[in-house]
Structure 1
Amino acid sequence: MKQASRFMPKYEPKKASKPVVFAFFAIAVAIVIYQPWYLLVIAGIALVVIVWSAIDQPNVERHFQNLCKERSGSSICEFAREFDSKVVDTWIIRAVYEQLQAALPTKQSVPIKASDGLFDTLMLDEDDLDLELIEEIAQRTGRSVEGYESNPYYGKVTTAGNLVLFFNHQARANAT
């Protein structure tokens, strides 16, 4: 019998190897020394991003406060009931729910529904989905991301429910 999903291990980020970190800092130092005007461009871009975030964050927090009020009393249980547990792996349901909550641009614990749009309702960035969230869910569920192009949900992952179903159709990763 498979272990209950509540005992699933948490996501553990891979540590960058020392040569990669050293190479990154060496390149950054070389840019600052040989092209100091790049530093001004990077600082300018960083300043714009910081100011924009400070202006927009109260709207984001208000959006998630309203979601929390609407969904008062909801939890992962309601999310899990939206799937047939005889067909959908409960580990995938839990991993998607928990990793989506961790990826939200708020500190609030927002109850998630399967119908929630990843980009409109949950306000996630497509790059976060592609670069981080997929890797985190794959690691926690033991699913491979290889061969994702043949997945029937490839290119259709716009809701939390579709993300669950996408991973449910992925093969298990080979244990190495």
Structure 2
Amino acid sequence: MRKASRFMPKYKPKRASKFTLFAFLTAVLALLIYHPIYLLALVGLVLLAIIWGYLEQPKIDRHFQHLRDNRKGLSICEFAREFDCKIVDTWIIRAVYEQLQATLPTKQLVPIQTSDDFFNTLKLDEDDLYLDLFEEIAQRTGRTLEDYQSNPYFGKVTTVRNLVLFFNHQARCEST
């Protein structure tokens, strides 16, 4: 019998290899030596992004505080009740809920609802969703991301409900 979802392992991020770090530092050094103006422009863009994020964060925090106030008393229990647990894997339900909370651009714990839109309500961008979140959920649930194009929810993952259903249609990895 499979363990209850509350005993599911936490996400373990992959560490960057020493080669990746070496390649990055080599590229920065080469840029510094051969094209210092480009490196200066890159540093300027990074600083501009940091300043922009610093100025935007209070607005984002107010948005999530408003969401949190409107959802007072909601938890993962109400989220899970939106799905038929005889059809939808409870590990997927928990992994989506927990990983979404960890990915939100705020430190506040905001109750997630199945109708939440990733871009407008949860303020996530496509990189957060497709590069980070998918990998994290797949790792925690033991689902593969292979052959995702044949998934009936491929291209339709705009809400949390569809994300859960997308992973429910993905095959389990052989090792789980």
Alignment TM-score > 0.5, same fold: yes
**Structure-2 residue corresponding to 1:132:** 132
Name structure 2 gaps, 5 residues minimum: none
Compare 53-62 and 148-157 and name the one that shifted more.
Answer: 53-62
Q: What is the SS of the residue equivalent to 1:26?
A: helix
Alignment TM-score, normalising by the size of structure 2 = 0.97
Q: Give me the CA root mean square deviation.
A: 1.1
Alignment of 1:78-117 (within 5 A): 78-117=78-117
Percentage of pairs with the same residue:
66
1:65 aligns with 2:65: yes
Name structure 1 gaps, 5 residues minimum: none
Compare 162-171 and 30-39 and name the one that shifted more.
Answer: 30-39
Q: What is the SS of the residue equivalent to 1:45?
A: helix
Instruction: Note the alpha carbon deviations across 1:141-162, whole angstroms, 9 max, x for none.
Output: 0000000000000000001111
Conservation of the 8 A alpha-carbon contact between 2:28 and 2:39: no
Measured in 2, the distance between the counterparts of 1:160 and 1:122 equals 10
Instruction: Note the alpha carbon deviations across 1:105-160, whole angstroms, 9 max, x for none.
Output: 00000000000001110000111111111000000000000000000000000011
Alpha-carbon offset, residue 47 of structure 1: 2.0
Measured in 2, the distance between the counterparts of 1:52 and 1:24 equals 25
Alpha-carbon offset, residue 51 of structure 1: 1.8
The 4+ residue runs of structure 1 with deviation greater than 3 A are none
Alignment TM-score, normalising by the size of structure 1 = 0.97
